[in-house]
Amino acid sequence: MTEQLIPIDQELLDILETVSDPEIPVLTIVDMGVVRSAKIENQKVYVEITSTYSGCPAMDTIADDIKAAFKQKGYEASVAVILKPAWTTDWITSKGRAALEKYGIAAPLSEHADKEALLGNKKLVKCPQCGSQQTKVLSQFGSTACKALFQCEDCKEPFDYFKCLK
Amino acid sequence: MNNNLIQYILGIADNSLILGQRLGELCGHGPSIETDIALTNISLDLLGQTRSYFQYVAQLQGGDANEDTVAFLRLEREYKNVLLVEQPNTDFGYSIARQFLYDVYHLALLEELQDSKDEQLAAIATKSIKEVLYHVRFSSDWIRRLGDGTEESHNRIQTAINDLWIFTDELFHQTDADKVMVAEGIGVDVAMLKENYYKKVTAILEEATLQIPEVEYFQKGGKQGIHSEHMGYILTEMQYMQRTYPNMTW
Ligand SMILES: [Zn+2]
């Protein structure tokens, strides 16, 4: 997977990194890959974000949180939601993937491995609790659209798996 | 204002809206927690896609239009969804059969719409397709499980497929607005998708040990705004809040 870095001015980046995904609080919106651009023009900040899934109810909250974070630093910010290019799980940074795993959510596999795991053909998703690969899919859809529900056959813990979206 | 373009977008978006609404009825009523969550997640995807289309429609309409006026303040005849998506959740078999028959079409449509000359439509299609791939996988999987399951599940999914089959042909009809949009390179020529659609659907039904229905008469009308008796009830529930408290927001 290729890490995709968006060139953003360090001062703006520092502020954006204080905003986290409301549904996965350990993940900043930058590590999630939803921030597509940020710039200052005439004292005003312009941020472009993209949604993970079309129906993601977190987008409005994220936009409000971004505005609030910039306001605290004395900036007025305007946030636009863009559709193109469409978000992919490849844009989650390696720091973001590590944060997911630590939080108890298995990070997305490659497209092919993802399909095999979700159809129950192969055991490929590692349990974020004990590291075992003896895991099974309970439900292709989980607590939010971006996740599936798995269970570890060794430690028996159920856990969320962040589905690959490409 | 490009009325043909607006009508064309509504023809796609209303399918997602009404199917999303139908699936939303199952929230808390699915046969198991997993299927309940799956069907409502699919509903959420469809409603999210609908919002993208409706925001675009509202922008084309201009004035006071917004995504809510497009979604909630039209009359029944102004909704352009196909009859298939408004059919009720008679039982789990009907919900799955309806989903499957629509998903296979939806994916094929979006695959073509990605290349639309209209950049906004192409962008929505490219985004939606990633979600719809999961829908097709889910509904096809359940067709196989029910068809190739117990005698009871087999009979019930067969009944649902038989009953809903008459609504499939309408997916490939074209309205006048559709034809204009196809000619302009914006719309998808759905008639071209028909052969492949029936091939794909047939292959999965056969895998599921199900019979392919043979019918001589297909039902149509939704694309012209002539809906089945179910539509009024859907709209009554869906529009209630906006009609009672105009311009309300959550
Ligand atoms: Zn484990």
Candidate from A83, A118, A138 with C-beta closest to B127: A83
Residue in A closest to B35 by C-alpha:
A139
The answer to whether A40 and A104 have CB atoms below 8 angstroms apart is: no
**In terms of pTM, does the model score above 0.90?**
yes
pLDDT tens track for A84-139: 999 999 999 999 999 999 999 999 999 999 999 998 899 999 999 999 999 999 98
Residues lining ion ligand 1 (Cβ < 5 A) are A 127, 129-130, 132, 152, 154-155
Domain B3-210+220-244 CATH (choose: 3.30.420.40, 3.30.360.10, 2.40.110.10, 1.20.1260.10) = 1.20.1260.10
The answer to whether A154 and A134 have CB atoms below 8 angstroms apart is: yes
* CATH architecture of residue range(s) A10-91: 2-Layer Sandwich (3.30)
Tell me the domain boundaries of chain B. 3-210+220-244
Report the alpha-carbon distance of residue A38 to residue B97 in Å, rounded. 45
Enumerate the residues of chain A whose CB falls inside 8 A of the CB of residue B46: 55
Average per-residue pLDDT for chain B: 96
Residue range(s) in chain A whose domain bears CATH number 3.30.300.130: 10-91
The residue among A2, A5, A32, A13 whose CA lies nearest residue A103 is A32
The residue among B90, B98, B131, B94 whose CA lies nearest residue B19 is B98
Interface test with A, best of B68, B130, B145 (most A CBs within 10 A): B130
Report the alpha-carbon distance of residue A56 to residue A44 in Å, rounded. 27
Report the alpha-carbon distance of residue B53 to residue B71 in Å, rounded. 10
Interface test with A, best of B19, B35, B37, B132 (most A CBs within 10 A): B37
Residue in A closest to B56 by C-alpha:
A83
Percent over 70 (pLDDT), chain A: 97
Q: What is the mean pLDDT of residues B179-203?
A: 98
pLDDT tens track for B147-161: 999 999 999 999 999
